[in-house]
C-alpha cells in the first residue's frame, strides 16, 4: 500500500518538475537576460517551444493522476503535432515556421536554426504525447506505454549521461542541435512516471524493468562512444598501427568488449541477486511457517543444549508453566521440574552423555512439572535428540495432563464405587430371598408335622424379609435417580420443605415421643434442585428419628438453616444414640450400618445423603455432640 502510494507521488513529482522547469525557462526567454546568456549559454539550450511543451506535458500528467481523461488526452494532440513537425524539419530539411512562431529568441545557442529543438527532443515529445494520451484514455498502465516510456528514458538518460561524460553525440544527434540538460531531466522524470507508476497492473517487475533500462542505456552509450571514437579517428586521420594491425579496431573493440563484459557482469549480478532474494524469501517463508506451527502448537515445545540450558520455548510453554519466554531462555530446564527431578536432572544428562543409555529420550513418559506459582502438575514428556551442525540439542514436547489425570482418577473411583455397589446390592438383594427360602422350607416341615400355630410366626418373619427387600430396592432407585436424574433448579422455600418432611415421618414408631422443632426462618429461600433437596432433608430427619435414644427422657430434634460466607448450611441435631468414634470413618459410605440392633436399614441412607449433596455441588458433614449427632450439609448459595 505504502509502496503504491510512493509511486503515485513520483507521478506528481514528475509533473511538478516539468511544469517548474518549463515555467522558469519561459520566464527566462521572455525576460531576455543577455548577461546571463553570455555567462551561462548552456542554460538557453532549452528552447521556448520546448519549455511550453513541457508545461503542457506536466499539467496533463497531473490531470491524469487526478483521474481526468478527455482533457489531458486532448492536450496531447498539439504536443504530438508539434513533435512531428519539429522532427520532420530535421528529417526533410524543411522549415515549417514553427520555431519562432511564439517567441523570437534573443540568443541563438546550441541549435542549427533559431528556436529549433533537437530531433531527439522532438522524437521524445512524440513518444511522450502518445504515452500520456494512452494513459489518459485507458486510465491504467500497459505494455505500449511502458515501451514508449522505455524509449524516451533511454534517449534522455543517454543525453544526460552524455553531458556528464562529455560524449557529445549522446545529446547532439545532429551537429549544433542538442537536447538540453533541462529537457533530458524532464524526459527522464516523465518516462520514469510512465514506466513505473501502475506497473503492477501490467504484470512486469519494476526491478527487472529498471535493470533492463539501465543496461540498455549503458549499451547505447557504449555504442555511441564506439561511434564517436571511430568518427574522431576518421576526422583527424589518426591511425594507430602496431605491427601492421589496424589498432583502431583494437582500441575500439577493447572499449566494446570490456563494456560488453561489464554489461554481462551486471546482468549476472542482477540475476544472482534476484535468485538470492527469492531464496531468502523462501527461507523466511518456511521459517515463518515453522515458527507459526511451533508457536501455535497446543503442546509445549522446549529445546535445551547438552548442559540443560533452555534455548527456545514456544507460546504453549508460557501457558503451561506460567513463565514468560525470557524468564526461561538461558536458564537450566530443571527450573520447570519439581523434586526429585529438579536435583537429579543434571545427573540424568551426565549419565546419558556417558552411557548413551536412554531413560526418556526417544521414549516419552509421564513426569511432573512445576509451574511458576509452585504448583506441581502431571506432564506428558517426549524428548528427542537432535544433532545439529555437530552440536547436540534435545527437543522436548510437553503436555499438561492434569485434566486427563483428574478424569482418570474420577473414572477409576466411580468404577470402583459402582463395582462395590453391584457387589453389595447383589448380596443384599439375595439375602432376604435366601432367608425367605429357608423359612419356606421350615414352613413346609411344620405344615407336614401339622404344627400350624408356628406357621404364623414364619409368615411374619417372611414379611420382615420382603419389607427389607422392598426398602432396599426403593433406596437403590433413589441412588440411581440421584446419579442419573437431570433436574432443573428452582427456588425452594426451606421452612415449608422441612415442615413437609417432618409430616412425612409421622407414620414412624416413636414419632410422637420426639420433640421436633423447625427453626428455619420463614423467609429463607434457596435456588436448588427440589427433589434432590427433599431426599436430603428426608434422609437427615428419618435418621434422627430412627436413631433416637429410647432411654432419653426428652428425645429432641432441631432443624436449623442459615447463610454464611456465600454458602447455605442446613443442620439437623439430635440427642440420640450418636455414632461411636470407632465407626465414624464409615459414615457416608455405601452399605454401612452403624446401629445393627436398632434398625434394619439398607446401609444406604447416609450414602444417598452424601451423593445428593454432592450432586447439588455441596458436601455432607458430621459432628458429634456431647449427646447425639449433628448432621449438616453445606450448599453453594446462588443468590
Partner 1 sequence: MKIHSILVVDDDENDQFICEYTIRKFDPSIRILKAFDGTEALDILRQEETPDAIILDINMPVMNGFEFLDRYAEEFEQHAPVVAMLTSSHLGKDRERAMQYSFVKSYFEKPLQSDHLHIMAELLGHKGP
User: What gap in Å lies between CA 455 and CA 444, rounded to an integer?
Assistant: 9
What is the Rg, in whole angstroms, of the alpha carbon atoms belonging to the chain? 52
| 387 strand-pairing partners | 392
CB proximity list for 500: less than 8 A, separation 6 or greater: none
Asked if 604 touches partner 1 (CB under 8 A), the answer is no
**Nearer to partner 1 by C-beta: 99 or 428?**
428
Q: How far is the CB of 431 from partner 1 (least distance, A)?
A: 4
Neighbour-count burial of 515, counting CB atoms closer than 10 A to its CB (0-12 exposed, 13-18 middle, 19+ buried) = exposed
Asked if 444 touches partner 1 (CB under 8 A), the answer is no
Comparing C-alpha atoms, which of 628, 525, 631, 533 is closest to residue 576? 628
Asked if 597 touches partner 1 (CB under 8 A), the answer is yes
Among residues 50, 439, 541, 635, the one that binds partner 1 under rule CB under 8 A: 439
Asked if 583 touches partner 1 (CB under 8 A), the answer is yes
Among residues 78, 438, 490, 617, the one that binds partner 1 under rule CB under 8 A: 438
Among residues 41, 288, 325, 441, the one that binds partner 1 under rule CB under 8 A: 441
Q: How far is the CB of 318 from partner 1 (least distance, A)?
A: 49
**Nearer to partner 1 by C-beta: 471 or 593?**
593
Candidates 82-90, 176-184, 247-255, 591-599; binding stretch for partner 1 (CB under 8 A): 591-599
Comparing C-alpha atoms, which of 67, 185, 203 is closest to residue 142? 203
Dihedral of the CA atoms 376, 380, 385, 386 (nearest 10)? -100
Asked if 442 touches partner 1 (CB under 8 A), the answer is yes
Which region, left, alpha or beta, applies to residue 330 given φ > 0 means left and ψ of -120 to 50 means alpha? Answer: left
Among residues 594, 608, 616, 620, the one that binds partner 1 under rule CB under 8 A: 594
Candidates 49-57, 294-302, 331-339, 436-444; binding stretch for partner 1 (CB under 8 A): 436-444
Asked if 587 touches partner 1 (CB under 8 A), the answer is no
Q: How far is the CB of 509 from partner 1 (least distance, A)?
A: 17
Helix (H, G, I), strand (E, B) or coil at 240: coil
Site for partner 1 in 264-303 (CB under 8 A): none
Size of site (CB under 8 A) for partner 1? 28
To which residue does cell 435366601 refer?
A: 434
Report the b/e string of 601-616 with b at 16+ CB within 10 A. bbbbbbbbbbbbbebb
Q: How far is the CB of 434 from partner 1 (least distance, A)?
A: 4
User: What gap in Å lies between CA 119 and CA 173, rounded to an integer?
Assistant: 7
**Nearer to partner 1 by C-beta: 576 or 603?**
603
**Nearer to partner 1 by C-beta: 387 or 449?**
449
Site for partner 1 in 408-427 (CB under 8 A): 422-424, 426-427
Comparing C-alpha atoms, which of 422, 411, 542 is closest to residue 480? 422
User: What gap in Å lies between CA 173 and CA 19, rounded to an integer?
Assistant: 26
Asked if 464 touches partner 1 (CB under 8 A), the answer is yes
User: What gap in Å lies between CA 77 and CA 518, rounded to an integer?
Assistant: 108
DSSP state of 562: E
Residues that bind partner 1 (CB under 8 A): 422-424, 426-428, 430-431, 434-435, 437-439, 441-442, 445, 461, 464-465, 583, 591-597, 603
Amino acid at each position: 500500500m505504502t509502496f503504491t502510494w510512493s509511486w503515485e507521488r513520483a507521478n506528481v513529482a514528475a509533473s511538478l518538475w516539468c511544469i517548474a522547469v518549463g515555467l522558469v525557462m519561459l520566464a527566462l526567454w521572455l525576460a531576455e537576460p543577455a548577461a546571463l546568456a553570455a555567462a551561462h549559454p548552456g542554460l538557453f539550450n532549452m528552447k521556448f517551444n520546448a519549455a511550453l511543451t513541457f508545461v503542457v506535458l506536466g499539467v496533463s500528467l497531473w490531470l491524469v493522476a487526478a483521474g481526468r481523461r478527455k482533457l489531458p488526452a486532448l492536450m496531447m494532440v498539439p504536443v504530438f503535432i508539434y513533435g512531428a513537425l519539429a522532427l520532420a524539419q530535421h528529417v526533410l530539411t524543411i522549415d515549417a515556421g514553427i520555431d519562432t512562431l511564439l517567441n523570437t529568441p534573443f540568443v541563438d545557442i546550441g541549435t542549427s536554426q533559431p528556436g529549433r529543438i533537437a530531433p531527439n527532443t522532438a522524437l521524445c515529445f512524440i513518444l511522450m504525447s502518445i504515452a500520456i494520451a494512452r494513459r489518459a484514455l485507458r486510465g491504467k498502465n500497459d505494455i505500449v506505454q511502458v515501451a514508449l516510456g522505455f524509449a524516451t528514458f533511454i534517449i534522455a538518460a543517454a543525453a544526460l549521461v552524455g553531458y556528464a561524460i562529455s560524449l557529445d553525440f549522446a545529446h547532439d544527434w545532429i551537429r549544433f542541435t542538442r537536447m538540453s540538460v533541462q529537457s533530458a531531466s524532464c524526459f527522464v522524470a516523465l518516462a520514469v512516471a510512465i514506466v513505473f507508476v501502475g506497473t503492477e497492473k501490467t504484470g512486469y517487475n519494476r526491478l527487472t524493468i529498471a535493470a533492463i533500462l539501465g543496461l540498455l542505456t549503458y549499451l547505447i552509450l557504449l555504442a555511441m562512444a564506439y561511434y564517436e571514437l571511430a568518427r574522431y579517428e576518421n576526422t583527424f586521420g589518426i591511425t594507430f598501427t602496431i605491427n601492421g594491425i589496424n589498432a583502431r579496431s583494437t582500441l575500439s573493440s577493447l572499449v566494446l568488449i570490456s563494456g560488453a563484459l561489464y554489461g554481462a557482469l551486471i546482468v549476472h549480478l542482477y540475476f544472482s541477486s534476484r535468485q538470492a532474494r527469492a531464496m531468502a524469501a523462501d527461507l523466511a517463508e518456511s521459517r515463518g511457517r515453522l515458527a507459526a506451527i511451533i508457536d501455535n502448537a497446543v503442546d509445549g515445545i522446549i529445546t535445551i543444549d547438552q548442559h540443560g540450558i533452555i534455548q527456545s520455548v514456544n507460546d504453549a510453554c508460557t501457558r503451561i508453566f506460567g513463565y514468560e519466554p525470557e524468564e526461561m531462555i538461558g536458564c537450566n530446564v530443571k527450573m520447570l521440574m519439581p523434586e526429585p527431578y529438579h536435583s537429579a536432572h543434571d545427573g540424568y544428562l551426565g549419565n546419558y552423555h556417558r552411557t548413551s543409555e536412554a531413560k526418556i529420550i526417544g521414549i516419552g513418559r509421564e513426569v511432573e512439572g512445576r509451574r511458576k506459582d509452585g504448583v506441581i502438575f502431571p506432564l506428558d514428556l517426549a524428548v528427542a535428540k537432535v544433532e545439529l551442525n555437530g552440536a547436540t540439542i534435545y527437543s522436548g514436547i510437553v503436555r499438561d495432563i492434569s485434566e486427563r489425570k483428574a478424569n482418570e482418577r474420577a473414572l477409576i473411583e466411580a468404577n470402583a464405587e459402582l463395582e462395590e455397589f453391584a457387589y453389595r446390592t447383589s448380596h443384599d438383594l439375595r439375602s432376604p430371598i435366601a432367608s425367605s427360602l429357608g423359612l419356606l422350607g421350615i414352613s413346609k416341615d411344620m405344615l407336614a408335622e401339622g404344627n400350624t400355630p408356628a406357621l404364623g410366626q414364619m409368615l411374619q418373619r417372611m414379611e420382615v424379609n420382603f419389607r427389607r427387600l422392598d426398602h432396599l430396592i426403593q433406596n437403590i432407585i433413589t441412588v440411581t435417580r440421584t446419579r442419573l436424574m437431570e433436574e432443573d433448579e428452582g427456588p425452594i422455600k426451606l421452612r415449608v420443605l422441612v415442615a413437609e418432611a417432618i409430616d412425612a415421618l409421622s407414620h414412624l414408631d416413636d414419632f410422637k415421643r420426639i420433640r421436633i422443632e423447625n427453626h428455619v426462618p420463614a423467609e429463607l429461600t434457596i435456588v436448588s434442585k427440589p427433589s434432590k433437596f427433599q431426599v436430603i432433608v428426608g434422609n437427615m430427619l428419618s435418621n434422627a428419628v430412627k436413631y433416637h435414644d429410647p432411654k432419653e427422657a426428652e428425645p429432641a430434634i432441631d432443624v436449623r438453616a442459615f447463610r454464611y460466607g456465600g454458602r447455605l448450611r442446613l443442620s439437623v441435631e439430635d440427642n440420640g444414640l450418636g455414632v461411636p468414634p470407632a465407626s465414624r470413618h464409615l459414615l457416608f459410605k455405601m452399605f454401612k450400618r452403624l446401629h445393627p440392633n436398632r434398625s434394619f436399614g439398607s446401609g444406604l441412607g447416609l450414602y444417598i445423603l452424601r451423593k445428593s449433596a454432592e450432586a447439588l455441588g455441596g458436601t455432607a458433614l458430621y459432628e458429634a455432640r456431647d449427646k447425639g449427632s449433628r448432621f449438616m450439609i453445606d450448599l453453594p448459595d446462588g443468590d
